[in-house]
């Protein structure tokens, strides 16, 4: 554009921030700006250059704070999010007096809605704008309405797709509301994809089964075929621990199960398998050759001491080019923003180094690829949707400001987001939701947890006497 060209009108101009674009060149602007029209980014660059080109209806001054693409969580069970603190912090599930199944068996639709709202608010505080839910919300419409109400993106799948009982004893393979049932699973398969008819939908559909342990090969194949036919992600839990891997290996003739799945055409670029704490030597090449993505949840691997008995292979796969992203999973003793640090330490403990810059890619562009939405989200580039986070500059945890990526993702992995736009809409300003009354939602979350505990007849115990 020449200097004489008249300035164009745009809806929003974000100015004066340390702009980490995550575009293909990984461009960073020490003082950058982003112009937005409607839900799309229309220009990105040096503040002085962009400001000269646009006459904005609204200016957001980042005041020198970091601007980055909205982070993407690739595996979040929103309907069990508020069971944290209720399910005891003991890593032996058999010893726990209250389980995830006890929680989900007492949920009503309203409880799922409130938890998803809490998840949305919590995400925004930590700079997240998208969660992928792996098919464990009984009423997806409740979670969809909640995500829309707080203004975050979500990916939802058909609930509890499982048709085989007998998974590991430590985790549920059935719930009271949705038992293992092949007839039902095949009937509802792909139902959530109707959300994708609207290209501007904030909440989209993908395909999930609960996991290979809990599904017949025919259900797994039908789900993969459905995802292929509709160009969406196919996700499932897989190889969480050695019990999981053993069950699936034995079911499919004793070969290591990822080798079997590769032979059967059940791996591919749209596959997103979650956990993968057990990966054997002969499974490494088939994972790499398939072009699939993995969700790494290093918290679980450490919490259950899986990594003490079986060396995690995901750091090695990251080094070899596998597309890996993070997921909160169930928020047992962590939440959004914690997994980067845990992953960094887990990798380090096992002889690998994953840089903060790589972790930034895993939270943005790699995660967008994993959820099949690279064309829309994951970077700040012209033509992409305006999912943009501005961090506060006035918090000590992200000082000194000399290496903003490392400070933001490792030492300062805190709720430091100040302002967030999703799909061009300002949904979070000065640390508060602009869409809902934050205090009302938080109070509803607290009351909801009490209701579920009342229904379940369970009182969490402290080791000390509580005086009422
Ligand atoms: Zn999970």
The answer to the question of residue 468 being in a domain is no
pLDDT of residue 93: 66
Lowest-confidence range among 84-88, 143-147, 181-185, 210-214? 84-88
The answer to the question of residue 269 being in a domain is yes
Distances (CA, A) of 122 to 251, 353, 422: 40, 29, 15
Do 40 and 139 lie in a common domain? no
Q: What are 357-376's pLDDT values in tens digits?
A: 999 999 999 999 999 999 99
Q: What are 342-355's pLDDT values in tens digits?
A: 999 999 999 999 99
Span 334-341, mean pLDDT?
95
* Ligand 1 ion: nearby residues, β-carbon < 5 Å: 329
Cα(248) to centroid of ligand 1, in Å? 17
Do 179 and 42 lie in a common domain? no
Whether 3 shows a pLDDT value over 60: the answer reads: no
Whether 14 shows a pLDDT value over 70: the answer reads: yes
Cα(321) to centroid of ligand 1, in Å? 24
Do 364 and 391 lie in a common domain? no
The residues, ordered by sequence, that sit 6+ positions from 377 with a Cβ below 8 Å of its Cβ are 69, 70, 72, 129, 130, 153, 368, 384, 385, 387
Segments forming the whole domain that contains residue 156: 71-370
The answer to the question of residue 442 being in a domain is no
Span 280-290, mean pLDDT?
98
Cα(136) to centroid of ligand 1, in Å? 9
Do 30 and 161 lie in a common domain? no
The answer to the question of residue 279 being in a domain is yes
Residue 79 to residue 143: CA distance in whole angstroms: 8
The answer to the question of residue 461 being in a domain is no
Residue 212 to residue 173: CA distance in whole angstroms: 11
| Per-state percent for the chain, helix, strand, coil, to nearest 5 | 40, 20, 40
Cα(327) to centroid of ligand 1, in Å? 8
Q: Is 434 exposed, middle or buried (0-12, 13-18, 19+ CB in 10 A)?
A: middle
Coil/strand/helix, residue 371: coil
Q: What are 391-434's pLDDT values in tens digits?
A: 999 999 989 999 999 999 999 999 999 999 999 999 999 999 99
Give the confidence band of 167 by pLDDT, cuts at 50, 70, 90.
Answer: confident
Number of folded domains in the chain? 2
The answer to the question of residue 445 being in a domain is no
Which of 447 and 308 is assigned the larger pLDDT?
Answer: 447
Do 115 and 156 lie in a common domain? yes
The answer to the question of residue 149 being in a domain is yes
Token pair, residue 220, equals: 């797994």
Token pair, residue 242, equals: 């050695």
Do 75 and 64 lie in a common domain? no
The answer to the question of residue 451 being in a domain is no
Give the confidence band of 100 by pLDDT, cuts at 50, 70, 90.
Answer: confident
Cα(211) to centroid of ligand 1, in Å? 9
Residue 157 to residue 137: CA distance in whole angstroms: 8
Do 298 and 237 lie in a common domain? yes
């Amino acid at each position: 554009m020449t200097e004489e060209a008249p300035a164009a009108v745009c809806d929003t101009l974000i100015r004066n921030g340390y702009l980490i674009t995550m575009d293909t060149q990984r461009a960073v602007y020490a003082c950058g700006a982003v112009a937005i029209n409607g839900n799309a980014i229309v220009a990105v660059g040096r503040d002085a250059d962009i400001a000269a080109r646009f006459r904005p209806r609204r200016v957001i001054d980042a005041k020198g704070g970091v601007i980055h693409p909205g982070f993407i969580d690739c595996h979040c069970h929103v309907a069990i999010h508020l069971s944290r603190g209720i399910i005891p912090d003991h890593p032996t599930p058999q010893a726990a007096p209250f389980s995830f199944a006890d929680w989900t068996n007492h949920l009503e639709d309203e409880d799922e809605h409130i938890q998803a709202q809490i998840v949305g608010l919590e995400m925004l505080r930590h700079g997240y704008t998208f969660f992928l839910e792996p098919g464990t919300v009984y009423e997806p419409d409740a979670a969809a309405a909640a995500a829309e109400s707080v203004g975050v993106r979500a990916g939802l799948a058909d609930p509890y797709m499982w048709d085989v009982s007998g998974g590991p004893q430590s985790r549920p393979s059935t719930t009271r509301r949705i038992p293992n049932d092949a007839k039902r699973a095949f009937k509802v398969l792909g139902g959530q994809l109707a959300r994708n008819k609207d290209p501007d939908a904030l909440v989209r559909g993908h395909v999930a089964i609960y996991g290979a342990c809990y599904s017949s090969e025919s259900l797994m194949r039908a789900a993969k075929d459905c995802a292929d036919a509709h160009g969406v992600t196919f996700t499932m839990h897989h190889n969480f621990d050695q019990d999981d891997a053993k069950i699936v290996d034995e079911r499919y003739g004793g070969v290591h199960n990822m080798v079997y799945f590769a032979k059967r055409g059940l791996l591919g670029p749209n596959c997103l398998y979650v956990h993968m704490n057990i990966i054997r030597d002969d499974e490494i090449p088939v994972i790499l050759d398939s072009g699939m993505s993995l969700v790494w949840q290093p918290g679980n691997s450490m919490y259950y001491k899986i990594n003490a008995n079986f060396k995690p292979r995901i750091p090695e796969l990251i080094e070899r080019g596998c597309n890996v992203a993070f997921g909160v999973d169930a928020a047992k003793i962590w939440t959004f923003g914690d997994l980067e640090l845990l992953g960094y330490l887990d990798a380090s403990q096992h002889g690998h180094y994953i840089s903060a810059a790589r972790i930034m890619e895993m939270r943005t562009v790699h995660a967008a690829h994993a959820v099949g939405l690279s064309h829309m989200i994951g970077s700040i580039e012209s033509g992409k949707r305006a999912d943009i986070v501005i961090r506060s500059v006035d918090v000590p945890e992200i000082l000194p400001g000399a290496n903003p990526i490392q400070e933001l993702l490792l030492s300062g992995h805190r709720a430091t987001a100040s302002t967030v736009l999703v799909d061009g809409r300002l949904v979070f300003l000065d640390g508060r939701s602009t869409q809902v009354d934050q205090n009302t939602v938080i109070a509803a979350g607290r009351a909801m947890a009490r209701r579920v505990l009342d229904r379940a007849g369970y009182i969490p115990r402290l080791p000390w006497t509580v005086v009422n």
